[in-house]
Structure 1
């Protein structure tokens, strides 16, 4: 649990504390991204390490609602528009865009002028598939630290999309299919948005990705044309065709239908060549749905927070860096983590 701190009125409990069920705000009697069943939780976004089954009530952004219904089935979901404050007990709560995936939100909690913000997963790079990140001022910031090392500095997405196009052309010359592994929610749609109007054939989709693509299209996001691999005749010539699949499909029996192919992975971890070798892929494209080091530092600086609590990643470099700059920084161990197939 996060420590209590001293106020002018004596010892005062932190607005957001860690419990065995998730982050909890006692003053408002709600959880944030709870990982065990609770009566009420705010959900920052639809990835499976943040959105879990069995909650009494889910509060999320309107564009996250259809994602939760897709992933969790029929639930008691209360959509809350971005920037709309609601009163819950002693606190005022509002959601603000996190820029991570469609509908992703930061949670702002205020009591008597004291403001806490939980970023959830976030990125600052402009992305046509989700609402743009909004900087929120606060006193205490709980932020992710997935790529909290200076070595992580992202190239532009369009630069990486151009590299994907060159790879597809290379595979066509070699008579091979180009299988690109990308997480089924967020990453795949981002790749498809970047490729819109730039291919001469529809992108072939693994079945696990198709539903997420449809959710994004229904939200009005423009994506490249697609078709299901399962609906393509088995005698199709796959040379030079781009195939999108989740990382869990790598080297599976499903891949054999393409006969000859190369494999690639879209992930921030591809910034380091050693990770590409460990993943056993021919190409790696540096496309991440998280903030890189500089965007993380800029977000902390611009928040104005005097206290930073880092979670969901490695904080070995971040915490000493912030402490040297006079910021009270600490680590928070939560159950959030990279999903098996996410490869963020």
Structure 2
């Protein structure tokens, strides 16, 4: 019998009697990261990385949380559990399970390129690997982060020449912090309340983030026009943005890689900045695990699993409820 099964509550380890990223309340939820599609309120206890804990508390309130640093091993009912960096967002973790010589790794969401702010992805050798496939098509291949940040700076500079306010649309957890770090010192950075709250939670946990300015009712439109405004996807077409001085919106998402994505909603620009692995990244990560069996979850799972089987890696598509992080549009 394998170490994990896929149930109507989530990924279940029978030997340890716990779930990984369950989408319904359970006794013990081992949590890979703080995006809302991977952690739900209502479980009796949670186990996560040290830097994910303040995010869970900030988003879900007081919870019964136990934390682990990367690489430290604990045992639950004889199952050894340890966490390894997933590179997805700050504190994101792959969950390594070991029982009677069998090793399974549940990766959650991940990216293999180092974004300079999340702990870089670390491949873990295993018998069984559970992989996402959000961008599991050959068309998805990311440009270097620095190149995209340069493109964003150039766009902001052009907006200021035209007296437009630059509004970047990005996830509150993950993408926003990458932008804050990558654009620090270029222009003052103004952030929506939800992003400011998460930044504060990270700083309290000891993460060194550049200073940002929280947007309030008193923040003048003239101030914002001289700086950079970062908002979550839910506000992308909100009434508030329409009140700004000639707002230009730039969407930061892997979906912007394809031309159709650039016309998403009414955005003025699209930047293919993603917190997920691209096609080459998925393949390199899976090959590095040397796994004998791969379960492919959310994204282009059927296509990606078929390709893995064609190249000699046994793979199976699994239906889950992951893939809509932050309760916003599919905006990775």
TM-score by length of 1: 0.92
Instruction: Count residues with an aligned counterpart.
Output: 330
Q: Match of 2:302, SS?
A: coil
Distance 1:204 1:242 in 2: 6
Match of 2:12 among 5, 18, 24: 24
Matching residue of 1:4 = none
Q: Match of 2:225, SS?
A: coil
**Contact kept? 1:264, 1:281, Cα under 8 Å:** yes
Compare 266-275 and 323-332 and name the one that shifted more: 323-332
**Contact kept? 2:51, 2:202, Cα under 8 Å:** no
1:143 aligned to 2:103?
A: no
Match of 2:268 among 256, 270, 282: 282
Displacement of 1:240 after TM fit? 4.2
Computing the radius of gyration from Cα coordinates, the structure with the larger value is 1
Q: Match of 2:301, SS?
A: coil
Using a 3 Å threshold, how does the CA distance of structure 1 residues 165 and 210 change in structure 2: closer, same or farther? same
Matching residue of 2:71 = 83
1:323 aligned to 2:303?
A: no
Displacement of 1:107 after TM fit? 0.6
Match of 1:291 among 260, 267, 277: 277
- Over the aligned positions, Cα root-mean-square deviation in angstroms equals 1.5
Q: In the TM superposition, what are the counterparts of 1:198-213 in structure 2 within 5 Å?
A: 198-199=186-187, 202-213=188-199
Displacement of 1:237 after TM fit? 4.9
Displacement of 1:43 after TM fit? 0.3
Displacement of 1:155 after TM fit? 0.7
Displacement of 1:235 after TM fit? 5.5
Matching residue of 1:161 = 149
Using a 3 Å threshold, how does the CA distance of structure 1 residues 212 and 98 change in structure 2: closer, same or farther? same
Match of 1:236 among 222, 231, 234: 222
Displacement of 1:132 after TM fit? 1.3
Matching residue of 1:10 = none
Displacement of 1:232 after TM fit? 4.4
Distance 2:314 2:112 in 1: 23
Distance 1:31 1:160 in 2: 37
Distance 1:197 1:230 in 2: 21
Distance 2:300 2:132 in 1: 9
Displacement of 1:113 after TM fit? 1.1
Deviations 1:206-247 (A, max 9, x none): 112111121233344443432122154436254342110011
Matching residue of 1:227 = 213
Distance 1:151 1:242 in 2: 30
Distance 1:209 1:19 in 2: 33
Matching residue of 2:140 = 152
Displacement of 1:173 after TM fit? 0.8
Displacement of 1:120 after TM fit? 0.4
Compare 73-82 and 249-258 and name the one that shifted more: 249-258
Displacement of 1:316 after TM fit? 3.3
Runs of at least 5 residues in structure 1 that lack an aligned partner in the other structure? 1-12
Q: In the TM superposition, what are the counterparts of 1:94-113 in structure 2 within 5 Å?
A: 94-113=82-101
Distance 1:92 1:235 in 2: 54
Match of 1:269 among 235, 255, 269: 255
Using a 3 Å threshold, how does the CA distance of structure 1 residues 258 and 29 change in structure 2: closer, same or farther? same
Compare 152-161 and 218-227 and name the one that shifted more: 218-227
